[in-house]
A and B are shown apart, each in its own frame.
Chain A
């Protein structure tokens, strides 16, 4: 078995900790402290123009000039063109609070979230106690958040068009973090604004780069007043992701990768710029539909999909199919696909709660390095045990 197959069990990692291993981290921390001191000095000198441009994300930037924090969100729904939302983070007691564009009380203390990926960011920043409302509490995987739900401190506020506006108002949130699926979804945002609530659009799911999605933690960092913590979390993940990528690049030839399951006779395959396709490539896999341009998904006829899948090496993300028998229930013809016969079908359903809430969609945005590790493991090993994988499981 390859050395890649590291265990994620917490017990093991505790045993492995020793003074020798802590020293490099300690030194690294020292370097960080010095670096950050140096940064703050330079920040002071260039206070006039202080835009924080993200390294990978395209959907936001943060302007911290003149001691004000403005978060600019770009094109926050699919198909949006040259749309900019400016959110000003202002202390509630500040007399100018209502004079700025889209004011958000700073730092936020009571938050309502519409997306589970936001929950992962908030928890990573240690701010899960600020959550007061959530859309779809029964699908939450995160144990910290589930504790809040069980204690009643965190309630379900309903879904998109079925939001419980009265409940939301009574929760007195500082900010409601939303995502826009289309321009039409603005209608419910406007309704919330009419109620005097502060709404912010988060576009992490629209990013086409895996690390670009993760980089949105910086926005959350500013909202909660902990930007350094967000930065350091992001930097660690970035470094882990890239080292995983380096490991994958050492393999000579990668497997051909087949994706998804059909909705009746139509398969949706993402285009070449899609973040997941990028991860397949970063993991050293060869995506079978690399001829599809852009980041959107294309409906492909079952025939074409079947023809490609017939000789694929690996098949991943089989949706609601959690076993080979499930696949046959979809369509018995899939038994003739090569990955089916070779037992190389994997799905991201390892971490699911009893209601079907999947941690892959919840914390996957925060943990692209773990997804990449899973993919590298699956792509470059003959026999993979489930214990070596974090989000994925083999279909049996």
Chain B
């Protein structure tokens, strides 16, 4: 590293302020105009705050912002893990087919009844469970394969193939389903941060926190792995075991996020690159926490944009995230050489 490093402490200091700022911004801005004094009133426990403001702030905005933080950090960290494990700059949380697995689960739950008479539509929590089961099943398949196969590229290819297979089944379900359920499914694929409610938030945050702890604990082995599998083996690391734990962590992070918020693209690919560009480091002990905070803040920023403050409309979060992430991915492709140097 010839270039001067951005001091890590300064980075975290700035991110801390940014997160706080975006948190307040994301809570304040939305379709319904809420005066700042109501927001302040709720924080200091003023009883005189109007019921509408209270309901919207506490039951809509707060869970939404927390979901944005959880989803953004989870996707970014799992993306980083995948990029390191596969040593591929364009890998992301979904390369293992986790989102396709989740999509298949949701497709069976939402479209199944009208297509094959097999569905079990029981509201939002049903969708969440279906997505979780779908992504976990794909993970089991990947784990089973990775125990037998040592070559990581084969696992990557199999992950993509499994993803394609589930997409094919999903297409068949879509093809035969009724318009109403098709719409429910399509809207799910667009992602949403605001459909997670209070009680689900506990489950969501619990699973994501376990995934994050695993990720942070894995930072040293990941450092070694990024220098090559053979090198790691020569140092006495059990590469297969590390991989397995990384897969579990990724599926907890990305699988749970997909289950609760739908598939959200590009955040997972773009954020690790943004962090690398700023910090010029490949030390995962620094990269993982910084990716975590950057992912959270970028997701909140995406949500502020998606809310189109002052309008009655909300844009699908997936599209906003893609539009934010694509320039970064393009930059990475164009300067691939530079990535290889890191």
Contact = CB atoms under 8 A, between A and B. Distances in A.
Contacts of A299: 313-314
Contacts of B30: 301, 303
Contacts of A330: 123-124
Given A303-B31, A310-B51, A310-B55, 4 more contacts: A161-B175, A264-B194, A264-B195, A304-B32
B122 interface: yes
Contact of B313 (A159, A300, A326, A328): A300
Given A264-B188, A301-B314, A306 B55 contact: yes
Contacts of B55: 306, 310, 333, 336
Please classify how large the interface on chain A is, using the bins under 10, 10 to 19, 20 to 34, 35 or more: 20 to 34
Contacts of B331: none
B187 interface: yes
In the complex, which of the residues B51, B121, B314 has the most CB atoms of chain A within 10 Å of its own CB atom?
Answer: B314
Contact of B125 (A159, A307, A329): A329
24 contacts: A162-B176, A263-B187, A265-B193, A298-B312, A298-B313, A300-B312, A301-B31, A301-B312, A301-B314, A302-B60, A303-B31, A304-B31, A304-B312, A306-B55, A306-B60, A307-B32, A326-B123, A329-B122, A330-B123, A331-B124, A331-B197, A332-B197, A333-B60, A356-B114
Nearest to A330: B123
Contact of A303 (B32, B51, B199): B32
A326 B124 CA distance: 10
Interface of A: 159, 161-162, 263-266, 298-304, 306-307, 310, 319-320, 326, 328-333, 336, 356
Given A299-B313, A301-B313, A329-B125, A265 B31 contact: no
B42 to A, nearest CB: 16
Please classify how large the interface on chain B is, using the bins under 10, 10 to 19, 20 to 34, 35 or more: 35 or more
B24 interface: no
B56 interface: yes
A332 B199 contact: yes
B150 interface: no
Task: Describe B's contact surface by its main secondary structure.
Answer: helix
A353 to B, nearest CB: 13
Nearest to B190: A264
B307 interface: yes
A307 B34 CA distance: 11
Contact of A333 (B113, B121, B180, B197): B197
A306 B56 contact: yes
Nearest to A139: B178
Contact of B52 (A162, A301, A307, A328): A307
In the complex, which of the residues B178, B194, B197 has the most CB atoms of chain A within 10 Å of its own CB atom?
Answer: B194
Contacts of B113: 356
Contacts of A326: 123
Contacts of A332: 197-199
B123 A302 contact: no
Contact of B184 (A263, A300, A333): A263
Given A307-B52, A310-B55, A333-B197, A265 B314 contact: yes
A103 to B, nearest CB: 32
Contacts of B56: 303, 306-307
B183 interface: yes
B59 interface: yes
Nearest to A298: B312
A167 B192 CA distance: 42
A64 B52 CA distance: 59
A306 B56 CA distance: 8
Interface in B107-131: 113-114, 121-126
